[in-house]
């Protein structure tokens, strides 16, 4: 651990404002934030004109281990997050075996302690084997410190009574239900992209908006009755945004996340039916994308989460109707958002940072803030550095993403986790 150092003259995201400050770190904690700090025999790190902020949290990551290590491992996934500015990652439960028992979760925790490059939490499954038929032992599982809530992500909970039972139990435990909202009937028909112009042009079976928003509406109705904490994964439709907006007006404990790819792309930007554009939920219409951007700007969608979903190159080489759903996102999420949204004056930098740092911590009850006497989880980006996203520079074991060859601004210069400098350029 670097015992003492000063970050000099960075553009610091401090108390939700961007201000030029020095930051003094000692023994893993932020000890002082001021206009100018000078101390004898303390290393000074020049971060002038660089963004300095709390390390990001990604509350939606598929680390694939155990069971699918050919796609990703805890080591490679968290290292990818580290290079993307993420100090904390929350893993999804759809591993093999599924994270639906105390034993599997304790094994996962041991793997994390051995291999992880960032802080890691996990969601437990809601139902055993994600099958939607029997609840996991929620009361026992939530006692494990690494478990931060419950999600069957990868599958929607199809049975209304099962979701009601899960919400009631989560309410008793003061835990959170994180829902993949999807009527699976479209998938059973072989749907692979959004139902719209692209699907018709390429004679592909489409996934309609109702497959998402009908389950969002069902679940919010249950929250009205039960009063539990409830979060919607990877919101993709304008109707879901409106449902979450209404729930917030009613002061329900309802929140939503949006993924970078849904903010940046729509289905009319899919190139040559390439499977790198295939994800679930799919890229929607321009109208839906604009609604997501508006929802983010208005605070309806509080969190940006990548839904990092690695697959092998062989799997993604298949045609779009046969390849698996999902793209990677950890390493380049912030540069893409900064380049395509902030620099184009579509979304403010403060809004992006709130959605990556403060808001996920609040929703998941994770301690930590950028302030004096707080642990030093800090990322530093050179916002003026332009570079091209190249496959050979990707840290993940997989490279399934539609942004290869894209030029972005914002290179990670420094990464500090728990007070220790993990990366320095």
Active site members: 307
Tokens in use for 56? 């990001």
User: Are the C-beta atoms of 402 and 410 separated by less than 8 Å?
Assistant: no
CA distance linking residue 166 with residue 177, whole number of Å: 8
Residue 367 burial (CB count, 10 A): 7
Picking from 304, 266, 305, the residue whose alpha carbon sits closest to that of residue 283 is 266
Contact 300, 258 (CB under 8 A): no
Nearest to 179, CA basis, from 118, 244, 120, 134: 244
Q: What is the β-pairing status of strands 4-14 and 17-26? A: antiparallel
8 Å CB contact between 396 and 77: yes
- The first and second tokens of residue 325, run together, are 């759903």
- Residue 122, CA distances (Å) to 35, 91, 238, 265, 326 in order: 38, 4, 29, 28, 19
DSSP annotation of 340 reads: I
Please state, in angstroms and rounded to a whole number, the distance separating the CA atoms of residues 352 and 344: 13
Name the residue among 380, 303, 387 with its Cα closest to residue 47. 380
Q: How far apart, in whole angstroms, are the C-alpha atoms of residue 237 and residue 292? A: 7
C-alpha to C-alpha distance for 319 and 108, rounded to whole angstroms: 33
- Measured CA to CA, the distance from residue 148 to residue 127 in angstroms comes to 16
Contact predicate 217/182, CB 8 Å = no
Rounded Cα–Cα distance for residues 343 and 104 (Å):
44
CA 34, CA 11: separation in Å to the nearest integer? 12
Report residue 200 CA to chain centroid gap.
Answer: 31
DSSP letter for each residue of 349-377? HHHHHIIIIIHHHHHHT----SSTTSB--
Which backbone phi and psi does 262 adopt, to 5 degrees?
Answer: -75, -25
Question: Beta strands 229-232 and 254-258: pairing type?
Answer: parallel
């Amino acid at each position: 651990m670097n015992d003492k150092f000063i970050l000099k003259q960075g553009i610091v995201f401090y108390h939700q404002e961007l201000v030029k400050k020095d930051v003094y770190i000692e023994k893993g904690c932020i000890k002082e934030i001021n206009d100018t700090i000078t101390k004898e025999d303390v290393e000074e790190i020049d971060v002038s004109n660089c963004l300095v902020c709390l390390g990001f949290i990604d509350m939606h990551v598929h680390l694939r281990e155990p069971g699918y290590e050919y796609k990703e491992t805890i080591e490679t996934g968290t290292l990818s997050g580290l290079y993307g500015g993420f100090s904390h990652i929350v893993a999804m439960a759809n591993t093999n075996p599924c994270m639906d028992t105390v034993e599997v979760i304790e094994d996962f925790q041991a793997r994390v302690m051995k291999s992880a490059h960032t802080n890691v939490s996990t969601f437990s499954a809601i139902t055993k084997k994600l099958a939607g038929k029997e609840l996991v032992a929620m009361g026992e599982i939530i006692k494990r410190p690494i478990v931060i809530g419950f999600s069957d992500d990868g599958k929607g909970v199809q049975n209304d009574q099962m979701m009601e039972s899960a919400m009631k139990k989560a309410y008793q435990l003061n835990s959170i239900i994180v829902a993949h909202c999807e009527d699976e009937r479209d998938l059973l028909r072989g749907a692979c992209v959004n139902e719209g112009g692209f699907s018709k042009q390429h004679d592909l079976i489409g996934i309609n908006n109702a497959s998402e928003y009908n389950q969002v509406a069902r679940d919010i109705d249950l929250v009205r009755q039960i009063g539990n904490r409830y979060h919607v994964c990877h919101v993709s439709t304008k109707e879901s945004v409106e449902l979450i907006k209404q729930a917030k007006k009613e002061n329900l404990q309802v929140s939503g996340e949006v993924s970078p790819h849904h903010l940046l792309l729509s289905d009319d930007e899919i190139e040559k039916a390439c499977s790198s554009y295939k994800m679930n939920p799919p890229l929607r219409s321009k109208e839906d994308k604009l609604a997501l951007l508006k929802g983010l700007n208005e605070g309806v969608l509080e969190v940006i989460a990548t839904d990092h979903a690695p697959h092998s190159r062989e799997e993604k080489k298949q045609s779009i109707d046969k390849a698996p759903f999902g793209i990677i996102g950890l390493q380049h999420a912030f540069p893409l958002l900064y380049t395509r949204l902030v620099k184009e004056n579509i979304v403010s930098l403060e809004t992006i940072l709130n959605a990556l740092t403060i808001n996920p911590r609040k929703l998941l009850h994770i301690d930590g803030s950028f302030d004096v006497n707080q642990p030093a989880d800090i990322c530093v980006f050179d916002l003026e550095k332009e570079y091209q996203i190249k496959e050979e520079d990707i840290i993940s074991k997989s490279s399934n993403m539609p942004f290869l060859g894209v030029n972005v601004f914002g290179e990670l210069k420094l990464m500090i986790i728990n007070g220790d400098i993990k990366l320095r350029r």
